[in-house]
Amino acid sequence: MLVAVLTYVGYGVLTLFGYLRDFLRQWKIEKCQNATEREEQKDFVPLYQDFENFYTRNLYMRIRDSWNRPICSVPGAKVDMMERVSHDYNWTFMYTGRVIKDIINMGSYNYLGFAQNTGACQEAAAKVLSQYGAGVCSTRQEMGNLDKHEELEKLIARFLGVESAMAYGMGFATNSMNIPALVGKGCLILSDELNHASLVLGARLSGATIRIFKHNNMQSLEKLLKDAIVHGQPRTRRPWKKILILVEGIYSMEGSIVRLPEVIALKKKYKSYLYLDEAHSIGALGPSGRGVVEYFGLNPEDVDVMMGTFTKSFGAAGGYIGGKKELIDYLRTYSHSAVYAASLSPPVVEQIITSMKCIMGEDGSTFGKECVQQLAENTRYFRRRLKEMGFIIYGNEDSPVVPLMLYMPAKIGAFGREMLKRNIGVVVVGFPATPIIESRARFCLSAAHTKEILDTALKEISEVGDLLQLKYSRHRLVPLLDRPFDETTYEETED
Amino acid sequence: MAAAVGVGQQWVLVEMVQAFYEAPAYHLILEGILILWIIRLLFSKTYKLQERSDLTPKEKEELIEEWQPEPLVPPVSKDHPALNYNIVSGPPTHKITVNDKECINFASFNFLGLLDNEKVKNAAQASLKKYGVGTCGPRGFYGTFDVHLELEERLAKFMRTEEAIIYSYGFATIASAIPAYSKRGDIVFVDEAACFAIQKGLQASRSNIKLFKHNDMVDLERLLKEQESEDQKNPRKARVTRRFIVVEGLYMNTGDVCPLPELIKLKYKYKVRIFLEESLSFGVLGEHGRGITEHFGINIDDIDLISANMENSLASIGGFCCGRSFVIDHQRLSGQGYCFSASLPPLLAAAAIEALNIMEDNPDIFQTLQGKCKRIHRALQGISGLKLVGESFSPALHLQLEESCGSRENDVKLLKRVVDYCMNSGIALTQARYLEKEEKCLPPPSIRVVITVEQTEQELDKAASLIKEAAQSVLN
Distance from CA of A142 to the nearest CA of B (A): 6
Task: Please determine, for residue B81, whether its predicted confidence score (pLDDT) is greater than 80.
Answer: no
Q: Is B11 an interface residue toward A (CB < 8 Å)?
A: no
Express each pLDDT in B230-245 by its tens digit.
889 988 888 888 999 9
Question: What is the C-alpha separation between A437 and A425, in angstroms, rounded?
Answer: 23
Contact between B315 and B120 under an 8 Å Cβ cutoff? The reply is: yes
User: Which positions ≥6 away from B87 have C-beta within 8 Å?
Assistant: A145, A146, A147, A150, B98, B99
Express each pLDDT in A381-424 by its tens digit.
999 998 888 888 888 888 999 999 888 888 888 888 888 899 99
Give pLDDT, residue A5.
Answer: 85
Confidence class for position A3, pLDDT limits 50, 70, 90: confident
DSSP state of B302: G
> Inter-chain contact A271–B125, Cβ cutoff 8 Å?
no
> Inter-chain contact B171–A351, Cβ cutoff 8 Å?
no
> Inter-chain contact A134–B121, Cβ cutoff 8 Å?
yes
Window 243-262 of A: residues touching B by CB (8 A cutoff) are 243
Question: What is the C-alpha separation between B92 and A311, in angstroms, rounded?
Answer: 25
Express each pLDDT in A170-206 by its tens digit.
999 999 999 999 998 889 999 999 999 999 999 999 9
User: Which positions ≥6 away from A200 have C-beta within 8 Å?
Assistant: A191
Give pLDDT, residue B8.
Answer: 59
CA distances (Å), origin B268, targets A52, A415, B237, B245: 26, 48, 20, 12
Give pLDDT, residue A292.
Answer: 92
User: Which positions ≥6 away from A62 have C-beta within 8 Å?
Assistant: A89, A90, A413
Nearest by CB to residue A129, choosing from B124, B430, B434, is: B124
Window 98-117 of B: residues touching A by CB (8 A cutoff) are 98, 105, 107-110, 114-117
Residue type, position B415, single letter:
L
Contact between B117 and B91 under an 8 Å Cβ cutoff? The reply is: no
Express each pLDDT in A5-16 by its tens digit.
888 888 888 888
> Inter-chain contact B326–A145, Cβ cutoff 8 Å?
no
Question: What is the C-alpha separation between B49 and B28, in angstroms, rounded?
Answer: 36
Express each pLDDT in B188-212 by its tens digit.
999 999 999 999 999 999 999 999 9
Average confidence (pLDDT) over A217-237: 89
Contact between A111 and A283 under an 8 Å Cβ cutoff? The reply is: yes
Distance from CA of A474 to the nearest CA of B (A): 31
Q: Is A223 an interface residue toward B (CB < 8 Å)?
A: no
Question: What is the C-alpha separation between A157 and A186, in angstroms, rounded?
Answer: 31
Question: What is the C-alpha separation between A406 and A391, in angstroms, rounded?
Answer: 9
Question: Which residues make beta-bridge pairs with B104?
Answer: B95, B427
Task: Please determine, for residue A276, whether its predicted confidence score (pLDDT) is greater than 90.
Answer: yes
SS3 B21: helix
Confidence class for position A495, pLDDT limits 50, 70, 90: very low
> Inter-chain contact B137–A108, Cβ cutoff 8 Å?
yes
Q: Is A381 an interface residue toward B (CB < 8 Å)?
A: no
Question: What is the C-alpha separation between A291 and A179, in angstroms, rounded?
Answer: 21
Give pLDDT, residue B6.
Answer: 57
Confidence class for position B51, pLDDT limits 50, 70, 90: low
Task: Please determine, for residue A487, whether its predicted confidence score (pLDDT) is greater than 50.
Answer: no
Express each pLDDT in B405-441 by its tens digit.
888 888 888 898 999 999 999 899 998 888 888 888 8
Distance from CA of B16 to the nearest CA of A (A): 50
Q: Is A201 an interface residue toward B (CB < 8 Å)?
A: yes
> Inter-chain contact A311–B134, Cβ cutoff 8 Å?
yes
Window 221-250 of B: residues touching A by CB (8 A cutoff) are 238-243
Residue of B90, B123, B133, B152 lying closest to B310 (CA atoms): B152
SS3 B26: helix
Helix (H) or strand (E) holding B155: helix B146-159
Helix (H) or strand (E) holding B452: none
Cis peptide before A432 (omega within 30 of 0): yes
> Inter-chain contact B143–A108, Cβ cutoff 8 Å?
yes
Provide the ipTM. 0.89
Q: Is B270 an interface residue toward A (CB < 8 Å)?
A: no
> Inter-chain contact A231–B53, Cβ cutoff 8 Å?
yes
Using a CB-CB distance cutoff of 8 angstroms, which residues of chain B are in contact with residue A75?
131-132, 134-137, 142-143
Question: What is the C-alpha separation between A117 and B437, in angstroms, rounded?
Answer: 45
Cβ atoms < 10 Å from Cβ of B33 = 10
The angle that helices B408-424 and B457-475 make with each other, rounded to 10 degrees, is: 130
Cβ atoms < 10 Å from Cβ of B173 = 30
Distance from CA of B8 to the nearest CA of A (A): 48
Give pLDDT, residue A65.
Answer: 85
Confidence class for position A490, pLDDT limits 50, 70, 90: very low
Using a CB-CB distance cutoff of 8 angstroms, which residues of chain A are in contact with residue B314?
135
Task: Please determine, for residue B220, whether its predicted confidence score (pLDDT) is greater than 60.
Answer: yes
Window 156-195 of B: residues touching A by CB (8 A cutoff) are 162, 168-172, 175, 181, 195
> Inter-chain contact B92–A143, Cβ cutoff 8 Å?
yes
Q: Which residue of A has its CA nearest to B110?
A: A137
> Inter-chain contact B351–A177, Cβ cutoff 8 Å?
no
- State pTM to two decimals: 0.88
Residue of B476, B343, B341 lying closest to B414 (CA atoms): B476
Task: Please determine, for residue A239, whether its predicted confidence score (pLDDT) is greater than 50.
Answer: yes
Using a CB-CB distance cutoff of 8 angstroms, which residues of chain A are in contact with residue B67?
229, 239-240, 271
SS3 B160: coil
The full length of chain A comes to 495
Confidence class for position B5, pLDDT limits 50, 70, 90: low
> Inter-chain contact B107–A142, Cβ cutoff 8 Å?
yes
Higher pLDDT, B76 or B273: B273
Q: Is B330 an interface residue toward A (CB < 8 Å)?
A: yes
Neighbour-count burial for A306-326, b at 16+ CB within 10 Å, e otherwise = bbbbbbbbbbbbbbbbbbbeb
Using a CB-CB distance cutoff of 8 angstroms, which residues of chain B are in contact with residue A137?
92, 108-110, 115, 311-312, 315
- Give the distance between the most distant pair of CA atoms in chain A: 70
Q: Which of B50, B54, B72, B97 to mutate to test the interface with A (most CBs of A within 10 A)?
A: B72
Write phi, then psi, for B319 (nearest 5 degrees).
-155, 170
Average confidence (pLDDT) over A106-115: 88
Question: What is the C-alpha separation between B269 and B272, in angstroms, rounded?
Answer: 8
DSSP B188-244: EEEETT--HHHHHHHHHHTPEEEEE-TT-HHHHHHHHHHHHHHHHH-HHHHHH--EE
Q: Is A5 an interface residue toward B (CB < 8 Å)?
A: no
Q: Is B85 an interface residue toward A (CB < 8 Å)?
A: yes
Express each pLDDT in A153-179 by its tens digit.
999 999 999 999 999 999 999 999 999
Average confidence (pLDDT) over B93-114: 90
Residue of A178, A280, A451 lying closest to B141 (CA atoms): A280
Q: Is A54 an interface residue toward B (CB < 8 Å)?
A: no
Express each pLDDT in B151-160 by its tens digit.
999 999 999 9
Residue type, position B453, single letter:
V
Task: Please determine, for residue A486, whether its predicted confidence score (pLDDT) is greater than 60.
Answer: no
Helix (H) or strand (E) holding B246: strand B243-248
Window 159-188 of A: residues touching B by CB (8 A cutoff) are 169-173, 176-177, 180, 182
Q: Which of B73, B181, B224, B422 to mutate to test the interface with A (most CBs of A within 10 A)?
A: B73
Confidence class for position A482, pLDDT limits 50, 70, 90: very low
Residue of B180, B143, B335, B322 lying closest to A317 (CA atoms): B143
> Inter-chain contact A198–B434, Cβ cutoff 8 Å?
no
CA distances (Å), origin B104, targets A137, B109, B450, B451, B461: 15, 13, 11, 11, 12
Confidence class for position B181, pLDDT limits 50, 70, 90: very high
Contact between B429 and B399 under an 8 Å Cβ cutoff? The reply is: no
Express each pLDDT in A245-259 by its tens digit.
999 999 988 889 999
Using a CB-CB distance cutoff of 8 angstroms, which residues of chain B are in contact with residue A268?
none
Task: Please determine, for residue A476, whether its predicted confidence score (pLDDT) is greater than 60.
Answer: no
Confidence class for position B19, pLDDT limits 50, 70, 90: confident
Give pLDDT, residue B47.
Answer: 63
